[in-house]
Amino acid sequence: DKIPATLIPGDGIGPEIVDAVVEVLDALGAPFEWDRQLAGMAAVADSGDPLPLRTLDSIRRTGLALKGPLTTPVGGGFKSINVTLRQEFELYANLRPARTLIHGQRYDDIDIVLIRENLEGFYAAMEHYLPIGHDPKAIAISSGFNTRAECQRIVRYAFEYAVKNGRKKVTLVHKANILKALTGIFLEAGYQIAKEYEGRVEVNDRIVDACAMQLVLDPWQYDVIVTTNLFGDILSDLIAGLVGGLGMAPGANIGTDAAIFEAVHGSAPDIAGKGVANPLALLLASEIMLAHVGRKDLADRLEDAINDTVLTRSIRTRDLGGTADTRTLTDALKQRLA
């Protein structure tokens, strides 16, 4: 009943927060059997390759990975590792929940899940320049694409997520009034799929710019948001801002054969090795991972432990205004779960 899973410590604060999360998951009794593999600068140092074949093979075998932040090497022609992983494993859904954990900030009681299409749109664009006279780059051209099949797949994922997680409403976010083809196809597919969920999950739609304003003025009207790649990238950082920034923002990249769970923040080189990093974003990512493998019971226990430790007992790292280091917070969480 062990579940094999790939563990990528990553760079900078990665190994510190990954170790902390593994300790807490052990105390929780999580069923994962970790296969530790390298990626990022750690892998470059080891083998010269930021994404070694054996790491890819491991994920192919387990179909499940928990990943620390990676420093994408600058120069040397390396492609973004995160983008490579998305394409390699066809991780079509990017799940970004934003929930208020610490109250008394700018917004209280935020609970929004944003689901972003991860493979198409403008991020799969064919880009090029056209010359005018002596200027070889006088005109920049980008042609993105969305396929009906992918739009249906991502919207279906959003509705299935809503059903499984007791969510009431899915909002389709688009710009079909201007990008009539590129995002019209998404809106059309959205309402088509929504019919299958009639009476179970409500559906509505918003134009992306209006949605951005509404998210600031009245974010509580939103439940699950599903949208195309570029809009999703922008709005997912917006909703992270509603709940206090990236320090507690988890993310998941999900496909049919594999899923990779991570914190949204980077490798934080400025505090790496100091033992003060906040492991909560990655811990919340592992909570999504538990739910993903059908252990909602453990995910809920973990959530209770986080609430009790961080909210009730106010044991917080410095980025959240507290004084705890990574060790203190980790031990408190383990104690609570023991």
Instruction: List 66's β-bridge partners, or say none.
Output: 7, 261
- Among residues 262, 285, 295, 337, which is the contact residue for ligand NAI, using CB under 6 A? 262
117 binds Mg ion (CB under 5 A): no
Distances 128 to 79, 137, 144, 228 between C-alpha atoms, Å: 18, 9, 12, 22
3 vs 124, which CB is nearer to Mg ion?
124
4 vs 266, which CB is nearer to Mg ion?
266
- Among residues 91, 112, 225, 271, which is the contact residue for ligand NAI, using CB under 6 A? 271
Residue 329 touches which of ligand NAI, Mg ion, none (Cβ within 5-8 Å per kind): none
Given the DSSP bridges, would you call strands 224-227 and 32-36 parallel, antiparallel or unpaired?
Answer: unpaired
* Residue 200: φ, ψ to 5°: -110, -45
Stretch that binds Mg ion, among 49-57, 172-180, 232-240, 326-334 (CB under 5 A): 232-240
Taking each helix axis as running N to C, give the angle between helix 326-337 and helix 296-306, from 0 to 180 degrees, rounded to the nearest 10: 130
- Nearest-approach distance from CB 251 to Mg ion, in angstroms: 9
Active-site residue, 209 included: yes
233 binds Mg ion (CB under 5 A): yes
Q: Please tell me the distance from the alpha carbon of residue 117 to that of residue 93, in angstroms, as a whole number.
A: 5
Amino acid at the residue 32: F
Amino acid at the residue 304: D
Interaction pattern, residues 232-251, with ligand NAI; x per rule: CB under 6 A: --------------xx----
90 vs 237, which CB is nearer to ligand NAI?
237
Q: Which residues contact 31 (CB under 8 A, 6 or more apart)?
A: 1, 2, 3, 293, 295
43 vs 268, which CB is nearer to ligand NAI?
268
71 vs 100, which CB is nearer to ligand NAI?
71
- Among residues 31, 184, 266, 322, which is the contact residue for ligand NAI, using CB under 6 A? 266
Q: CB burial class (10 A; 0-12, 13-18, 19+) of residue 226?
A: buried
Q: Which helix (H) or strand (E) holds 145?
A: strand 135-145
Instruction: Count Cβ neighbours within 10 Å for each residue of 188-214 and write b for 16 or more, e otherwise.
Output: bbbeebbeebeeebbbebbbbeebbee
Spatial CA neighbour of 292 closest among 63, 20, 22: 63
Stretch that binds ligand NAI, among 105-113, 136-144, 164-172, 262-270 (CB under 6 A): 262-270
Other CB atoms closer than 10 Å to residue 75's CB: what's the count? 5
287 binds ligand NAI (CB under 6 A): no
- Nearest-approach distance from CB 17 to ligand NAI, in angstroms: 6
Active-site residue, 46 included: no
- Nearest-approach distance from CB 143 to Mg ion, in angstroms: 21
Q: Please tell me the distance from the alpha carbon of residue 291 to that of residue 271, in angstroms, as a whole number.
A: 31
316 binds ligand NAI (CB under 6 A): no
- Nearest-approach distance from CB 116 to Mg ion, in angstroms: 9
Q: Please tell me the distance from the alpha carbon of residue 89 to that of residue 305, in angstroms, as a whole number.
A: 32
- Among residues 58, 71, 100, 253, which is the contact residue for ligand NAI, using CB under 6 A? 71
Q: Which of 11, 35, 161, 175 is catalytic?
A: 175
Active-site residue, 175 included: yes
Q: Which of 209, 257, 300, 304 is catalytic?
A: 209
219 binds ligand NAI (CB under 6 A): no
Q: What is the largest CA-CA distance in the chain?
A: 72
Residue 247 touches which of Mg ion, ligand NAI, none (Cβ within 5-8 Å per kind): ligand NAI
270 binds ligand NAI (CB under 6 A): yes
Which residues lie near ligand NAI (CB under 6 A)? Answer: 13, 17, 69-72, 82, 246-247, 262, 265-271, 277-278, 281, 319
Catalytic positions, written as ranges: 123, 175, 209, 233
